Amino acid sequence: MPAGTRIGVLTGGGDCPGLNAVLRAVTRKGIAVHGHEIVGFRSGWRGPMDGLTMPLGLEQVEDVLARGGTILGSSRTNPYQEQDGVERIKRTLAEHGVDALIAIGGEDTLGVAERLNQDGVPVVGVPKTIDNDLDATDYTFGFDTAVHIATEAIDRLRTTAESHHRALVVEVMGRHAGWIALHSGLAGGANVILGPEKRFSVDQVCEWVQQRFERQYAPIIVVAEGAVPQDGEEVLLTGETDAFGHVRLGGVGTWLADELARRTGKESRAVVLGHTQRGGTPTAYDRVLATRFGLHAVDAVSEGAFGKMVALRGTDIVRVPLGEATAKLKTVPLSRYAEAEVLFG
């Protein structure tokens, strides 16, 4: 696209460390190299629907590299569930002279981007999810930071668990994929790691816990929020759903801690890390990956490569179809859990 093109950029879905690094890279290269003007849309897809904008110039992105969250704000808005949502987006883009969009988000945000691109809105996607469950990219930024935060929490919890001779269940994020649970559990030396990909046996978990106590050590159990026991007992669900139909999860960590206490007679506590994993300063790895994604995304727009998402393959940034990236979730292979099980108990 020629110099002087106006490019809109938005951040959708859950926030995570590294979003501002993408915005900084898009803005700096978009202006300095391609001569574009960058327009920020606030609050995810709500921004282009309702005309919520802010300028994104060199001044606005000067000191944002190390900041967590997103200076644009975010939301889980789904324009395809809103009255005239798509037409409102098209109208807003026309009114503001925006020629193309860069959408930064996970499966839901990029799923909307794919549909909008098919409906005639030029879009390039940037993958973002701390769960690392987007297909077609080896890693997403935010994941490394979330793993570091969870690992530090496990390290801190181990000392208090040992002091009080109790089992501690650490619940981490991961609705459909257990990447955070697996990586933080391995890095933190957890005695049990449970993910959504494989239903777990509470009796087996109790056996691992008892083995740990028998050696005079306190067990640490890391469980992803989407993990489910195999004996038919479902985790509690709140019944509330978001704009994309996801049911809010209700606390498998607390449920499991209560079960362990009841079945083993040992004192157990649950710690839910929740949104702690989303906040704070991004790691160096996430800053670099997010920056590279932003640089390549604005190049893709300049070259008219719409309907694509920038992705990490090995050490290279490549372009893949948005449809390929959102067709399925990238879950943890069961073989990875099998590798870790030799360390349990």
Rounded distance between C-alpha atoms, residue 288 and residue 304, angstroms: 24
pLDDT of res. 326? 86
CA distances (Å), origin 199, targets 48, 132, 226: 41, 20, 10
Burial class (CB in 10 A: 0-12, 13-18, 19+), 311: buried
317 residue type, one letter: I
Cβ within 8 Å of residue 84, ≥6 positions away:
none
Q: Is 132 left (phi over 0), alpha (psi -120 to 50) or beta?
A: left
Phi, psi of 258 (to 5 degrees): -65, -40
What are 123-154's pLDDT values in tens digits? 999 999 999 999 999 999 999 999 999 999 99
pLDDT of res. 4? 78
pLDDT of res. 120? 95
Burial class (CB in 10 A: 0-12, 13-18, 19+), 216: exposed
Burial class (CB in 10 A: 0-12, 13-18, 19+), 112: buried
3-class secondary structure, 203: helix
Rounded distance between C-alpha atoms, residue 331 and residue 126, angstroms: 19
Burial class (CB in 10 A: 0-12, 13-18, 19+), 172: buried
pLDDT of res. 247? 60
100 residue type, one letter: A
Give the residue-averaged pLDDT of 238-245.
Answer: 55
Q: Is the pLDDT of residue 243 over 70?
A: no
What are 189-240's pLDDT values in tens digits? 999 999 999 999 999 999 999 999 899 899 999 999 999 998 765 555 545 6
Q: To which residue do tokens 């997010």 refer?
A: 290
Phi, psi of 263 (to 5 degrees): -85, -30
R_g of the chain computed on alpha carbons:
22
Rounded distance between C-alpha atoms, residue 22 and residue 30, angstroms: 12
3-class secondary structure, 326: helix
User: Does residue 131 have an active-site annotation?
Assistant: yes
Catalytic residue, candidates 15, 99, 131, 299? 131
Cβ within 8 Å of residue 251, ≥6 positions away:
171, 235, 236, 270, 272
Give the residue-averaged pLDDT of 300-309.
Answer: 97
pTM attached to this predicted model: 0.92
Q: Strands 308-313 and 316-321, how do they pair? A: antiparallel
What are 155-193's pLDDT values in tens digits? 999 998 888 889 999 999 998 999 999 999 999 999 999
